[in-house]
Amino acid sequence: MAIWIKNPLAILAENAGNGIVIKGDKIAELVKAGDKPKGQYQKLETFDASDLVLIPGLINTHHHFYQTLTRACPPALNKPLFPWLKALYPIWARLTPQMIKSSSKLALAELLLSGCTTAADHHYLFPAQLQDAIDHQVEAAKELSIRTVLTRGSMSLGEDDGGLPPQSTVQEEQTILDDSLRLIKDYHDPDDGSMVQLALAPCSPFSVSENLMRESSKLAREHNVRTHTHLAETHDETDFCLKMFGMRPLDYLEHVGWMNDKTWLAHGIHFDDNEIARLGNAKVGICHCPSSNMVLSSGICRTLELKKAGSPVGLGVDGSASNDGSNLIQEVRQAMMIGRLRYEADEMTHLEALSFATKGSAQCLGRGDIGEIKVGAEADLALFALDEARFSGAGDPMAALVLCGAHKAEHVMIKGEWRVKNGEIPELDMNELMREHKSLAHQLYHS
C-alpha cells in the first residue's frame, strides 16, 4: 500500500506542491504542483492535506524526561542554574523505576502531540534504587512507537570531590562504563531507519571526572556511538572549569578528546569567536535550548555564527523543570524570537528556526535518513491544521505555523504509520497516564 498525501496547504520541501507519496516506511515520490504521482503502485490511497501544513517530523536533540515530574517546582523557582540544581538534586535522588517509566511516557506523548517524531533524552541520575532507568525509557518509547536516541548519562564527581551533585546521586566510574557497554550491546541499532540508538553522555564538567570523560569517549569510539554533554551553559560553569581544571569549558572538552563530529553539546551559549571557529572546524553539533536558557537566565546561543562556522545546530526543549514543557513546535517559535534579539529579522527567519528542529537536529544526531522531506527518507511527518483563532487571517501558512504559535499537531506519521490522528495518540489513555504521573510527582515531592 502507498499513501499519497495530496495537495498540502503548504509543505517544507521543494518541488512537492501536490504532496508526497509514502510507500512502506519511506518517502517514495515528491509530486510537483499540478502533477499526479508517476510511480507504479499496486494500490494508492489518497490522504487529503488541503487544509494542513506538512513538515518533516520534528527532532528533539536534548531533554530530561524525568523532569516532567518536577515542573514549576517551588524550591527551584526563580533561580539560575547552579542554585536551581542544588534545590532539585535531593528531590531527583528519590526517583523510582515507576517514576522513570511514567515520566518518560508522558514526555514522549507530549513531544509526539507537538509534531516530534525523534527524541533524544539525557538521563544521568542512577541512585541505588534506579540502576536500569534507560531500560524503562526503551520500553516507554516502544509503547508509543517513537524514535529515540537515549543517552546513557552519568555523574561521578560528587560534593566530596569538588563537584556539584550530592554523593547519593553519583556512581562509581567502572559501574558507569560497564552499564554503558551493556546498553550499547542490548539496544543500539546503527542502521538507517533505526528506532532506538544509544549515545554516551557524562553530564557536565561540574559533575564528572576528567577520567570518565576520556573513558566514555574511548568507549564511544570503539562502538561507533555518539557522545553528548552539557557545555558552556552559564558563566558559573566557566568559572568552575577555570578553578577546577585551569581552562575554559571548550579547552577542557578538547583536552579530554571530545572535539569531533560524533559529539553534540547541549546549550553552547558562552563561546567566543575563536571557540566558535574551532567548534565549526571539528563539526561539533550544538543543541539550542531557548526556553530553558531563558528560564534560567543563562544567555543566548550564537546559533547563526555556529552554523556558519560549520557546526550543525539542532533544537531541544531541555528538561521539563527548566522549560517547563515538552512542546517542540513551540520551541521553534522561541528559537526564532530569541534569535531576533541577536540577529536581524531577515537573518533569523521562520524557515531558519524550522531548520534547527529538522535538518539541523538530524545532523546533530548523525542521521541522514530523517529531518527532510526527500525521496528515500524515512516517512516521519507532522501535519498541522490552522483552524484555531490564533491563525485566522494568516496569509503565509508556513510562516503562520511559527509566527502565530502552533502548539499541537493534527496528524503525525513515524516510519509510515500514523502515530497521532486528529490530535490524539491512538490506543493511549492520556487521562489515565496523567493521573498516574501526577500521583507519582506527589510521591516524589513528599517521600
Q: What is the pLDDT of residues 225-250, one digit of tens each?
A: 999 999 999 999 999 999 999 999 99
pTM for this prediction: 0.98
Where would I find the beta strands (DSSP E) of 214-295?
Answer: 226-231, 263-267, 285-288
Q: Hey, is 273 helix, strand or coil?
A: helix
Of 68, 160, 54, 125, nearest to 372 (Cα)? 54
Q: What is the mean pLDDT of the chain?
A: 97
- Give the separation between CA 232 and CA 238, rounded to whole angstroms: 7
Radius of gyration of the chain (CA): 21
10 pLDDT tier (thresholds 50, 70, 90): very high
428 pLDDT tier (thresholds 50, 70, 90): very high
Instruction: Transcribe 47-97 into DSSP letters.
Output: EE-TTEEEEEPEEE----GGGGGGTT-GGGTT--HHHHHHHHHHHHTT--H
Q: Grid coordinates representing 225?
A: 556511538
Q: Where in the chain is the domain with CATH 2.30.40.10?
A: 2-56+371-420
Judged against a pLDDT cut of 90, whether residue 1 lies above it is answered with no
Domain 2-56+371-420 has CATH 3.30.1360.20: no
Q: How many angstroms separate the first and last alpha carbons of the chain?
A: 52
- Give the separation between CA 42 and CA 40, rounded to whole angstroms: 7
Running DSSP on this structure, what letter comes out for residue 375? T
Residues 6+ apart with CB under 8 A from 445: 70, 73, 91
pLDDT at 151: 98
Angstrom CA distances, 342 to 302, 335, 336, stand at 8, 11, 10
Q: What is the pLDDT of residues 91-140, one digit of tens each?
A: 999 999 999 999 999 999 999 999 999 999 999 999 999 999 999 999 99
How much is the average pLDDT of 25-36?
A: 98
- Give the separation between CA 87 and CA 421, rounded to whole angstroms: 39
Domain 58-364 has CATH 3.40.50.1820: no
Q: Hey, is 254 helix, strand or coil?
A: helix
pLDDT at 150: 98
- Give the separation between CA 395 and CA 402, rounded to whole angstroms: 13
Residue 121 preceded by cis peptide, ω within 30: no
Q: Where in the chain is the domain with CATH 3.20.20.140?
A: 58-364
Residue 324 preceded by cis peptide, ω within 30: yes
- Give the separation between CA 413 and CA 427, rounded to whole angstroms: 15
Angstrom CA distances, 267 to 192, 231, 277, 294, 427, stand at 27, 6, 17, 11, 35
**How long a stretch of residues is the chain?**
447
Q: Grid coordinates representing 56?
A: 518533516
- Give the separation between CA 416 and CA 418, rounded to whole angstroms: 7
Q: What is the pLDDT of residues 272-331, one digit of tens each?
A: 999 999 999 999 999 999 999 999 999 999 999 999 999 999 999 999 999 999 999 999
pLDDT at 383: 99
**Amino acid letter for position 347:** E
For a pLDDT cut of 90, what percent of the chain falls above it?
98
Tell me, rounded to whole angstroms, the distance of Cα 265 from its chain centroid. 11
Q: Grid coordinates representing 172?
A: 562509581
